[in-house]
Structure 1
Amino acid sequence: MVIFPIVIVVSFILYVYYKVMIIRSADPLIQEITNAKARLSLGFCISFFGVNQYLFYETQLALFIAILFFIIGGLQGYAGWKRYHHYKSEFNKRETASV
């Protein structure tokens, strides 16, 4: 499956990109939004890495490790998703209050 390595690489590149963008931003709220996007990308990377490793080895040990990676990646992605929506709504409130 070629799609899994592509998703892994793209999500890892996005993770590094968002981490660099945190440093470049001076606004703490923008930093939190960008950090949430980075966590979401990291969650995708970890989850798809686990699935890819299971499809590559197809052993029982690889299955347990893939399930563990999928759970950890899912938790990272869910936390990133929740944080993104929370801080995005705070950002929208601040933008409407300043107008």
Structure 2
Amino acid sequence: MFIFPAIIVVAAVLFIYYKVAILKSKDELIQRYFNAKARICLGTFVFVFGINQYIFYKTQLSLFIGIVFLILGGLQFYRGLMEAKHYRSEWRRLNPSE
């Protein structure tokens, strides 16, 4: 299965990209938006990593650890989506001309 390692690598690279973008930005609202996007990437990374580990090892221990990773990754992903949606609408409210 090549798709899961590819998603893991892309999610990790995007996570690092958004964390560096936070450092480059001066506006606090944009920093929080980038942090929410980074949280989405982190959630994706952890979620897919949990799936990949179970598929690779197929043991009962990897199943339990994978379930924990799925739950934590899903929660991070969901929270990131809600934060990104909130900060995007806040930015549009404060900058209606753009």
TM-score above 0.5: yes
* Aligned residues between the structures: 98
TM-score, L = length of structure 2 = 0.97
CA RMSD between the two structures: 1.0
- Pair 1:94-2:94 in alignment: yes
> Offset at 1:3?
0.2
The one-letter code matched in structure 1 to 2:69 is: F
For residue 84 of structure 2, what is the aligned residue in structure 1? 84
The answer for the alignment partner of 1:9 in structure 2 is 9
Q: Which amino acid in the other structure matches residue 72 of structure 1?
A: L
CA deviation vs aligned residue, 1:29-52 (integer Å, no higher than 9, x gap):
000110000000000000000000
Tell me the SS of whatever aligns to 2:71.
Answer: helix
The alpha carbon displacement at 1:94 in A equals 0.4
Amino acid of the structure 2 residue aligned with 1:89: S
Q: Which residues of structure 2 form unaligned runs of 5+?
A: none
CA displacement at 1:62 relative to structure 2: 0.5
1:69-88, Cα deviation, whole Å (9 max, x unpaired): 00000000000000000010
Dislocated runs of 4+, deviation >3 Å: none
